[in-house]
Amino acid sequence: MDLIAVAPMLDWSDRHYRFFMRQITQATTLYTEMVVADAIIHGNQQKLLEFNSAEQPVIVQLGGSDPKKLQQASKVCQEYNYAGINLNVGCPSDRVKSGNFGACLMQDANLVADCYSAMQEVVTVPVSIKHRIGLNYNNDYGFLRDFVGSIAAQGCTKFIVHARNAVLTGLSPKQNREIPPLNYEYVYNLKRDFPGCEIVINGGVKTIVDIDSHLKQVDGVMLGREAYYNPYLFSNFDQLYFKHQAKAISRKQVAEQMLPYLYQAQKQNIKLHHITRHMIGLFHGCRQAKIWRYQLTNGIIKTNAIETYTELLNIMDEC
């Protein structure tokens, strides 16, 4: 169950970010950025799907609308030992041709149900659906209830719900994360109407107060942008929500624990910035946050040297 989860974020939640987040929280569920089914079938599967076992529990998110292709991609994903597979039905794209994906699929609940059935048929890990509460400016709760009901009827028991509509024309994907108003009550209603399903809420969650409020109504909470810009928010989540006894790690300890990973990346000729770009928010709200951000963006890019990173560690204070 995803009591607390970090959302799949395109270009952000790659394996380097997930490894970094795993230094802060051991129990939070992590998601990959979306991987298109066609890319898995025809592309470099190892590059797309390989991850460090330390990232577990991690769930792979797939994009696609062809049940057969999604089935084939799901079989491959299971071979990589992901904890689960998620189908993206929330990306605010207006593309509706075969092979496309995202929120436009909410227009065809039967197709989504077929995709779910095809995927779950060939894997033993749970398959879930991530979707919006509606399309365009249709605010009819009945549409959302019937959409979820059609897929639940095929056996799906886990729905991650971004509590905004997806406006398919006129708004960019970025605007779709901000402009359509949040409607948490619709997600709460889903839990009441489908008590046997796991309902995870997503959208606009920024604080522990927000999380605690939502957990009174639904089964889990997923954070996206806040998890990226303010990752240390998660530092005591293992203690608060998963009853871990170990003391929360400090910001500086997190930074120090990333050193072996950076050394290994350097041996593999991976540019350090590909990793450190995800760590910019670690000292968010601290006195030296500006120094940290500047060196991880400018310094590391210029030198690609671990010495730049270790010198920065030496001047950083605990926050």
Query: What amino acid positions are annotated as catalytic residues?
Result: 91
Residue 133, CA distances (Å) to 58, 94, 237 in order: 25, 16, 27
Contacts of 44 (CB under 8 A, 6+ apart): none
CA–CA gap between residue 3 and residue 1 (Å, rounded): 6
Q: How many CB atoms lie within 10 A of CB 130?
A: 26
Nearest to 28 by CA among 260, 191, 205, 166: 205
Instruction: Retrieve residue 244's tokens.
Output: 């871990």
The C-alpha angle 230, 233, 236, rounded to 5 degrees, equals 155
Determine how β-strand 35-36 pairs with β-strand 58-63: parallel
Phi and psi torsions of 11, nearest 5°: 70, 0
Nearest to 234 by CA among 13, 27, 16, 9: 27
* Residue where the block lists tokens 């979820």: 148
| CA-CA-CA-CA torsion sign (119, 120, 125, 126) | positive
3-state secondary structure of 300: helix
Q: Where are the beta strands (DSSP E) in the chain?
A: 4-6, 29-31, 35-36, 58-63, 84-89, 127-135, 158-166, 198-202, 220-223
Q: Is 25 left (phi over 0), alpha (psi -120 to 50) or beta?
A: beta
